[in-house]
Amino acid sequence: MVVKRKKKRIIQTVARKLVTNANQKSIVTEQFRTLRTNINFSMPDRDLSTLLFTSASPGDGKSTVAANTAVVFAQEGKRVLLVDADMRKPTVHYTFHMTNTLGLSNLLTRKTTVSDVVKMSEIDNLHVITCGPIPPNPAELLASETMNKVMEEMTGLYDIVIFDAPPVLSVTDGQILSNKCQGTILVLSAGETEKGAIVKAKDALISSKANILGAVLNNFTLDKDHYYSQYYGTDE
């Protein structure tokens, strides 16, 4: 999985770019399709219904990767639900240009229902649940029995539910949710994420009994003479 590397590390607080929807013929989009294929092959004996994206540190690009992966699964024809489970610094509502008055936090405090908080995106087959009002106790909400019931309801309505979780080394939220999901993917930033942080993040997920499907190396630069660029004849 490769995407174009930026010169300066910037932690975004606005919309992530949905290149998989904007440019379906780009190299980056094809890499997301490859990621989709690898995820499908990762659990050949059963369908993967819950998938978590997290990272070691803020700014590694896990929200961008989660959103674009949701798009390519929807383009495949699956019914997809993207859930913003980062109830500390949510971004999904920015990416999909949605309001954030109701969302996951409302569900977990039992103030509303799944049908009330699900929003349709502009992409066929892709629905979204935003974070909702930021609660004072995100970890406790994610660890609750209510969360288990909500996830069960979600998986009954959708082919795959994708969770965008906070960085593992920042808070415990990602570890808690990784234990509840069937698969976890760790997003790393090329040239930025330190090896020590990668090891610590992996160990944290293992201690939570997460099923780590693999890692995505984000912000990786392809050489101009790379075979992929030569074959497709593009500089992107």
Could you give the CA distance from residue 132 to residue 126 in angstroms, rounded to a whole number?
18
Residue 4 lies in a domain: no
Into how many domains does the chain fold?
Answer: 1
Residue 134 lies in a domain: yes
Residue 219 lies in a domain: yes
For residue 90, give its domain range. Answer: 21-230
The pLDDT value recorded for residue 225 is 54
For residue 214, the SS3 value is: strand
Q: What are phi and psi of 54, to 5 degrees?
A: -140, 180
Lookup: tokens for 213: 């499907």
pLDDT of the chain, 236 residues: tens digit per residue: 444 444 444 444 455 689 999 888 889 999 999 999 999 998 877 889 999 999 999 999 999 999 999 999 999 999 999 999 999 999 999 999 999 999 999 999 998 999 999 999 999 999 999 999 999 999 999 999 999 999 999 999 999 999 999 999 999 999 999 999 999 999 999 888 899 999 999 999 999 999 999 999 988 776 655 544 444 444 44
Could you give the CA distance from residue 55 to residue 166 in angstroms, rounded to a whole number?
7
Q: Is the Cβ–Cβ distance between 51 and 185 less than 8 Å?
A: yes
Q: What are phi and psi of 130, to 5 degrees?
A: -75, 175
The pLDDT value recorded for residue 125 is 97
Residue 14 lies in a domain: no
Q: What are phi and psi of 50, to 5 degrees?
A: -130, 130
Tell me the residue ranges of DSSP E strands in 97-191. 119-120, 126-129, 160-164, 183-189
Backbone dihedral region for residue 91 (phi beyond 0: left; psi -120 to 50: alpha; all else: beta) = alpha
Q: Are strands 126-129 and 119-120 parallel, antiparallel or unpaired?
A: antiparallel
- pTM for the model stands at 0.88
Q: Is the Cβ–Cβ distance between 108 and 141 less than 8 Å?
A: yes
Residue 139 lies in a domain: yes
The pLDDT value recorded for residue 8 is 43
**How would you class 45 by CB atoms within 10 Å of its CB: exposed for 0-12, middle for 13-18, buried for 19 or more?**
exposed
Residue 191 lies in a domain: yes
CA 79 to chain centre: 16
Residue 8 lies in a domain: no
Residue 7 lies in a domain: no
The pLDDT value recorded for residue 222 is 65
What CATH code is carried by the domain that includes residue 38? 3.40.50.300
Tell me the residue ranges of DSSP E strands in the chain. 50-55, 80-84, 119-120, 126-129, 160-164, 183-189, 212-218
